[in-house]
Structure 1
Amino acid sequence: MTDNPLLYPGAAHPDLREPMIADLVRTFYERARLDDVIGPVFAAAVTDWDDHIAKITDFWSGVMLRTGRYNGRPMRPHLILPLEGKHFDRWLDLFEATAREVCAPDIADAFIVRARRIADSFEMARASQRGEFAAPRHSLR
């Protein structure tokens, strides 16, 4: 793993580094696990928290720094979970609050823009799976 931003062409922000991503993910999941709305969903779905946090750190590293470390397919697990709009709303509320606490404002904004797009994508895929239509709700705020 490298922390040299010159090795990440297309990074979301020139000051973003791997330790900040790891701190954001770890802090978010500490809060999410205790949350009344999304905590039970995570508790039922995640059996190895260390592995999950490492995987999601790789995911965000790929999204934000273009590292290519994440090889998974994030949509599939979300399609089999019993997720509703309230879960996506709460995930975003917690993620945005954590990003604003852990990151400088412009870096937090870069995370939040992408998180909102991801939430919309997952929500629209879940609706499509049920034969319904869903318009983006989060990325348009």
Structure 2
Amino acid sequence: MPDASLTEASLQAFLTAFYARVRQDDLIGPVFARAIPDSEWPRHLAVIQDFWSSVLLKSGRYKGNPFGKHQAVGTLQPAHFARWLDLFEDTASAAFTPPIADMVVDRAHRIGDSLKAGLFFRPDAPAA
């Protein structure tokens, strides 16, 4: 049954389910596998929990640079972001009631749009 409240516990359950799906995905799973060794997943999930807790619950725990982390991957493409968001939306809809799922997904889209703009928008690049 979907959670009707957004708490640290419900956020953690959502993120655990979501990243389990991400790791198994044919398109983005390999990108994550190259960037995060299996042994580093518990630490990565803790950082992700801090990030989303800061974004959604205003905890202020995350102190990193999400743009720099994504930029360092180097192989990200817009299709990777689209697939990530598809999985995120689907998992959020299963994890939370509509008002919460909608808010979480809206925030993810805003963050994704900002990351994509920084990574892929090149006004001075020649047309393909």
**Into which bin does the TM-score normalised by the smaller protein fall?**
0.7 to 0.9
**Change beyond 3 A, Cα 1:51–1:60:** same
| Structure 1 residue aligned with 2:18 | 28
- Return the structure number with greater relative CO, CA threshold 8 A, min gap 6: 2
Question: Deviations for 1:68-104, whole angstroms, at most 9, x for unmatched residues?
Answer: 0111111101112211111000000000000000111
User: TM-score scaled by structure 1?
Assistant: 0.80
- The 1-side partners of 2:26 and 2:41 are apart by 18
Q: 1:55 matched to which residue of 2?
A: 47
Cα distance in structure 1, aligned partners of 2:7 and 2:29 = 28
Q: Where do residues 81-92 of structure 1 align in structure 2 (5 Å cutoff)?
A: 81=73, 82-92=75-85
| Runs of 5+ consecutive residues of structure 1 not aligned to the other structure | 1-13, 133-141
Moved over 2 A (4+): 128-132
The unaligned stretches of length 5 or more in structure 2 are none
Deviation at 1:42, TM superposition (A): 0.3
Give CA-to-partner distance per residue, 1:110-132, whole Å, 9 cap, x none: 10000001111111101247955
Q: Which amino acid aligns with 2:72?
A: I
